[in-house]
Amino acid sequence: MKYNKLFIALPLIFIGLAFTQKAGKNAIIQTGAELEKLADGFLFTEGPSPDKNGNVFFTDQPNDRILVWGVSGELSTFMQPCGRSNGLAFDNKGFLWACADEKNELWCIAPDKSVNIILSKYQGKLINGPNDLWLAKNGGIYFTDPYYQRTWWKRTSMEQDCQGVYYLAPDHKTLTRVIDDLLTPNGITGSPDGKVLYVADLKGKKTWSYTINKDGSLSNKTLFCEMGSDGMTTDTRGNLYLTGDGVTIFDRNGKKIGNIPVPEKWTANVCFGGSDMKSLFITASKGLYRLRMKVKGTAW
């Protein structure tokens, strides 16, 4: 008799979980909204980031270009070549920071498209290949540095002793390694209040949270969820959006809200954009997608 009750209870539990996740998604996705394919024909899209007007910049790394989806609905090329840029992020002065891994560099691109190469080495050795980055409110920059062998590299091994995460101080001169114990750190973002840093270990299939200290160092490493991510973002409610198999959403406590299916094998990255910051933009290999939301994204 106990076993019969168990067999009845388990399906009810799964139904309850599915209902809860659907209800959670309905609270953040616009009623009736459907995923739109805005553009395709790319080789691999990555690094979406909105400027202060909501125009979304993203990369097509194999084609060595940065593109822009404008708020008025047009697609244009911002820069080509672009140092094989991957992750992108705007600062509050309108400069575009890029993980330019053609030569393993971190770039700062001015509004006039002039490029300032900020760094390419840590302690005299070439960094692996800056991948994704997040800009703190104080002007400091956190970026992940996994090693993914690129066809455009002549080298075949890394000079660093680990695949780490770095913090570039607000002076943009002092570089510190702040994480050294992950397998392949990849996606990175911060909480809306700027007090917590989230870092995904893609190979380790986990996402971790860290307390951001006043000096930029990290403490209180805590498992956020049992899922890695290529890229990620947050909304103003503190929900975290992870990528890979579509877009999976977690609340600020690490509870899964649900998944947004995307009709491509791999979803690389995600950000909010549009004039009202209520459109979720998804870079998924060959396509760029958009989904209208009830919540706003975070950016500065």
CA–CA distance, 15 with 256 (Å, rounded to integer): 15
Question: 67 Cβ partners below 8 Å, 6+ apart?
Answer: 57, 58, 59, 60, 75, 76, 77, 78
Report pLDDT for 22: 59
- How many helices (H) does the chain have, and how many strands (E)? 1, 24
Per the DSSP assignment, residues forming a β-bridge with 234 are 240
For residue range 261-289, list pLDDT tens digits in order.
999 999 999 999 999 999 999 999 999 99
CA–CA distance, 254 with 273 (Å, rounded to integer): 24
- Domains of the chain, by residue range, sit at 2-292
Give yes or no for residue 91 having a pLDDT over 70: yes
Report pLDDT for 300: 55
> Cβ–Cβ contacts within 10 Å for residue 63, how many?
17
Give yes or no for residue 299 having a pLDDT over 80: no
Contact 150, 113 (CB under 8 A): no
Over range 150-176, report the average pLDDT. Answer: 96
CA–CA distance, 100 with 107 (Å, rounded to integer): 6
Give yes or no for residue 3 having a pLDDT over 50: no
Stated length of the chain: 300
Question: 260 Cβ partners below 8 Å, 6+ apart?
Answer: 25, 29, 35, 246, 247, 248, 249, 280, 282, 291
CA–CA distance, 129 with 145 (Å, rounded to integer): 5
CA–CA distance, 48 with 271 (Å, rounded to integer): 6
CA–CA distance, 75 with 85 (Å, rounded to integer): 18
What's the DSSP call for residue 269? Answer: E
| pLDDT tier, 218 (very low <50, low <70, confident <90, very high otherwise) | very high
Give the β-pairing of 121-122 and 125-126. Answer: antiparallel
For residue range 243-252, list pLDDT tens digits in order.
999 999 999 9
CB neighbour class for 85 (10 Å; exposed up to 12, middle 13-18, buried from 19): buried
What's the DSSP call for residue 61? Answer: G
* Domain covering 2-292, topology: Neuraminidase (2.120.10)
CA–CA distance, 27 with 164 (Å, rounded to integer): 36
Contact 291, 33 (CB under 8 A): yes
Report pLDDT for 4: 55
- The larger pLDDT score, comparing residue 238 to residue 20, is at 238
Give the β-pairing of 125-126 and 256-260. Answer: unpaired
